[in-house]
Amino acid sequence: MSFPTTSVTKDHATRDHRSRTVPAVISQTGSTMRSARHILIVNGRKVQQPVFIIGAPHSGTHLLARAMKRSDGVHLTIGQSSVLRVIYAFARRPSIHDGRGEAAASVLRDAFGQGWRITPHGCMECVPECREAAGITDGIGPCATERGLQLYGDASPDLAYCAEALTSTFPDARIVQFIRDGRDVVACMLRDPAILSWFKPSIANIDAEFPNPFFGVETEEDRVGWPGLSPAGKCALRWRGAVRQAARLRRSLPAEQLFTVRYETLIERPAATASAISEFVGVSLPAAQMRELRKTPTSVSVGGWRGALSPDQAADVEMIAGEELRRVGYALSGVRRPASADRPASG
């Protein structure tokens, strides 16, 4: 991926978005956020305080994305092709943007600027998950209108693995991050062919890109142990990496920019969770709509890992991610592999 060498005002004939330099970003409440060099204009409106929904795969981000997509005044995208290309490039190869702050930010701004455009047939370019979340069955759309538009956002898969680049690009962004029991997450990941396809030797770039946050490989011990890990162990590394990323965000972002949602709490108390999220993002999420989310099919229910994972798989997860499970409030089961079995790498 090439990066622009300078940052200039953009006004493309084929894309109704542009960026220009401003001295600072002012929040909707009037308080000054962190200094920013650019604003993004899409559909003739400034993008202010965009909301990004992040979390490990199958952590529940899709539930909030569905609710927000169907809320008035919100244009939230999921998996726009222009965005996915950059997300996966940045997530899988952080070295291409490390140390290239403004150039990398310009690439991300352009990607989201294109993804957030509202056109009569824009939804035809969306992934099925985005159209389904919006309730669009004819595949045409659009899923949002310019009239009354208050908020832009994105909940693309694996957005969590380039969260730091996001907050550098949009210094006033608001991040909603999901936390879910890593064992339930791994159980879901093991049933997802798209997730498992990342682990193919021809795709996993562990040696070429190290450290590798996308795969959760952070230490030399992780890298050496990777080839011998079970699929459950590799999934656990990815969940662990996302949780560690969440911890770094908590240390670096002020409370008004970061909101953490526990998946289990959303399922158990949807009305209270909807109220808290609505206050944070600045738009109303109807409690009734959030209650409906509990009926959304999921491959593994809360605590379902006990029946979905074998003892060996559960042991692999707790061996690799036990510290993070405890840290975010999930008690360990204590299940262990037989003493003669190979131990998965830990970090």
Q: Over 80: is that where the pLDDT of 68 sits?
A: yes
pLDDT at 103: 84
Whether residue 120 is predicted with pLDDT greater than 60 in this model: the reply is: yes
Average pLDDT over residues 272-292: 82
Ordered alpha helix ranges (H), the chain: 61-69, 81-92, 101-115, 128-134, 163-169, 182-189, 193-197, 220-225, 231-252, 263-268, 270-281, 287-292, 305-308, 311-327
The residue that leads in pLDDT, 135 or 102, is 102
Q: What percent of the chain has pLDDT over 90?
A: 45
Q: Which residue has better confidence, 44 or 304?
A: 304
The dihedral formed by the CA atoms of 193, 195, 200 and 204, expressed in degrees to the nearest 10: 170
**Between residues 97 and 41, the one the model is more confident about:** 41
Instruction: Please report, in angstroms and rounded to a whole number, the separation of the first and last CA atoms in the chain.
Output: 31
Please tell me the number of Cα atoms within 13 Å of 211 on its side-chain side.
14
pTM for this prediction: 0.83
Pick the residue with more confidence: 344 or 212?
Answer: 212
Mean pLDDT of the chain: 81
Cβ contact 265:178 at 8 Å: no
Half-sphere exposure of 194 (CA within 13 A, CB side): 4
pLDDT > 60? residue 212: yes
CA 68 – CA 187 distance, rounded (Å): 26
Domains of the chain, CATH where assigned: 17-327 (3.40.50)
Ranges 2-6, 60-64, 253-257, 308-312: which has the least confidence: 2-6
Mean pLDDT of 53-73: 89
d(CA 198, CA 204): 6
Q: Are residues 157 and 86 in contact, defined by beta-carbon separation less than 8 angstroms?
A: no
Q: How far is CA 38 from the centre of its chain?
A: 23
